[in-house]
Amino acid sequence: MEHATGLVLPNSGHNRDAEASKMGMWLFLFTELLLFGGLFLVYMVYRMLNAEAFLLASFELNIALGTINTVVLLVSSMTIAMAITAIQKGDRKTSVLLLYVTVALSLVFMVIKFFEWSAKINYGYFPGMEVYQNLPAGESLFFFLYFFMTSLHALHVIIGAVFIAVVIYRTNKGFVTAEKYTLTENAGLYWHLVDLIWIFLFPLLYLIH
Amino acid sequence: MEHKNEQPNEAQGHHISSYKEHFSTLAALLLLTVLTVAVSVFGADLRSLSVATALLIATIKALVVAYYFMHLKYEHKLYRWLLLVVVLLFVLFLVVTSIEYLNR
């Protein structure tokens, strides 16, 4: 890099700033919270207007599968938090192993979600299907929101898994070390957000009877 | 293992949470999950109460995740203030919208 004035800046290309990077991730997570917040707002309003219908429709969801998926996400949150502990201690092998476990758990979550969605689609509850069209207005709204919110969440699960896969690759390449682990931390923050959203989706969709 | 709990305002992420701490956090979260499912399954007749408890338990779980897994407890307090502002903003949306709909 050349400067016409010949001035050399004290910062010569080393632009790593762990704190700013982490703050950037948190600010992004706040926008994510408000994105899902908007959907929770819509859910609240429609629920107030269609209390009985939402209640009836929510009985169609499988509490057992929802609970298993909650446990899967909570465990995966712990494994990625432990992966950060491991890399902070300089234990790259354990860190990578825990990241692999986290990705594996994200796949388990998606497979269970896939079976849940398939069951609902087989009943014809997917927006646009015949059974869905003939449901009372409030119940079809519930299923619309169910599919919209869980699939937006699932999209975040997939993005999170890809993010973690990138961290595994970078860690194996030696770019992530005990002194430089912001990438792992940020992947962890993102993954915990995915968990946080599910912590609210699960009771609102499955449990509130 | 180093514990610098006394200095939560440390600028860089010096704090290293132990594996044990993460495991205890998970145990607490699983316990709360069992509790919320039990309230829903066995307390179905107490309808509005079960909505309130479900949301209360979800909020506690979210705070546990944020404080321990996301290290919020050990970060600079600016992070906690920012989160508080965002959450209050969202609660304001909820309250204002509810008032609007309940007065129709």
Look at residue B6 and tell me if it is in a domain: no
Look at residue B8 and tell me if it is in a domain: no
- State whether residue A67 sits within 8 Å of chain B by CB: yes
The pLDDT value recorded for residue B5 is 43
The pLDDT value recorded for residue B84 is 96
Quick: pLDDT tens for A73-132: 999 999 999 999 999 999 999 999 999 999 999 999 999 999 999 999 999 999 989 999
State the residue range of the domain holding B60.
17-70
> How many Cβ atoms from other residues are within 10 Å of residue A16's Cβ?
9
* Radius of gyration for chain A, computed over Cα atoms and rounded to the nearest angstrom: 21
User: Among A120, A102, A103, A131, which Cα is nearest to A65's?
Assistant: A120
B16 → closest Cβ in A67, A78, A88: A88
Positive or negative: CA dihedral B90, A194, B64, A46: positive
- Whose tokens are 């790259």? That residue is A92
* CB contact burial B19-49 (16+ within 10 A = b; e otherwise): bebbeebbeebbebbeebbebbeeeeeeeee
The pLDDT value recorded for residue B10 is 35
Question: Which token pair is A9?
Answer: 């800046």
Same domain, B86 and B55: no
Burial (CB count within 10 angstroms: exposed 0-12, middle 13-18, buried 19+), residue A109: buried
Report the pLDDT averaged over residues B11-28.
Answer: 84
User: Among A115, A196, A118, A202, which Cα is nearest to A157's?
Assistant: A196
Same domain, B66 and B21: yes
Which stretches of chain A drop beneath a pLDDT of 50? 1-3
Number of domains in chain B: 2
The pLDDT value recorded for residue A7 is 64
Asked if the Cβ–Cβ distance from A81 to B51 is below 8 Å, we say no
- State whether residue A71 sits within 8 Å of chain B by CB: yes
- State whether residue A41 sits within 8 Å of chain B by CB: yes
Selected residue of A21, A34, A82 to mutate for chain B interface (largest B Cβ count, 10 A): A82
The pLDDT value recorded for residue B3 is 46
Positive or negative: CA dihedral B81, B83, B85, B87: negative
Look at residue B12 and tell me if it is in a domain: no
Taking all residues of chain B, what is their mean pLDDT, rounded to a whole number? 84
Q: What percent of chain A has pLDDT over 70?
A: 93
pLDDT interval class at B51 (50, 70, 90): confident
Instruction: Say whether domain A72-207 belongs to CATH 3.20.20.70.
Output: no
- Whose tokens are 């979260």? That residue is B29
Same domain, B57 and B84: no
Asked if the Cβ–Cβ distance from B40 to A199 is below 8 Å, we say no
* CB contact burial B72-101 (16+ within 10 A = b; e otherwise): bebbbeebeeebeebbeebeebeeeeeeee
Look at residue B4 and tell me if it is in a domain: no
The pLDDT value recorded for residue A141 is 94
- In the A/B pair of chains, how many CB contacts fall below 8 A? 112
CA–CA distance, A87 with A93 (Å, rounded to integer): 9
Question: Which token pair is A192?
Answer: 């915990």
Give the residue on A whose Cα is nearest the Cα of B34.
Answer: A67
Amino acid, single-letter form, for residue A69: N
* Dihedral angle of Cα B72, B73, B76, B82, to the nearest 10 degrees: 50
Identify whether the C-beta of residue A173 lies closer than 8 Å to the C-beta of residue A129.
no
Tell me A56's DSSP state.
H
Asked if the Cβ–Cβ distance from B33 to A67 is below 8 Å, we say yes
State the smallest CA–CA distance between residue A37 and chain B in angstroms.
7
Same domain, B58 and B87: no
Same domain, B79 and B64: no
Selected residue of B65, B73, B91, B100 to mutate for chain A interface (largest A Cβ count, 10 A): B65
Asked if the Cβ–Cβ distance from B65 to A199 is below 8 Å, we say yes
> How many Cβ atoms from other residues are within 10 Å of residue B4's Cβ?
11
Question: Which token pair is A195?
Answer: 């968990």
Question: Which token pair is A51?
Answer: 């209390």
